[in-house]
Amino acid sequence: ETGVTQTPRHLVMGMTNKKSLKCEQHLGHNAMYWYKQSAKKPLELMFVYSLEERVENNSVPSRFSPECPNSSHLFLHLHTLQPEDSALYLCASSQDRSEEKLFFGSGTQLSVL
Part in contact with another protein (CB under 8 A); list of ranges 22-30, 64-72, 74-82, 103-111:
103-111
Site for another protein in 8-47 (CB under 8 A): 40-43, 45
User: With b meaning 16 or more CB within 10 Å and e meaning fewer, what string describes 58-78?
Assistant: eebeeebebebeebbebbbeb
Q: Does the footprint of another protein cover residue 66 (CB under 8 A)?
A: no
Residue 65 or 106 having the CB closest to another protein: 106
Query: Are 34 and 74 a contacting pair, CB within 8 Å?
Result: yes
Q: How many residues bind another protein (CB under 8 A)?
A: 23
User: With b meaning 16 or more CB within 10 Å and e meaning fewer, what string describes 90-113?
Assistant: bbbbbeebeeeebbbbebbebebe
Residue 96 or 113 having the CB closest to another protein: 96
Q: Which residue in 76, 107, 108, 110 binds another protein (CB under 8 A)?
A: 107
Residues near another protein (CB under 8 A) are: 2, 4, 40-43, 45, 55-56, 90, 94, 97-107, 109
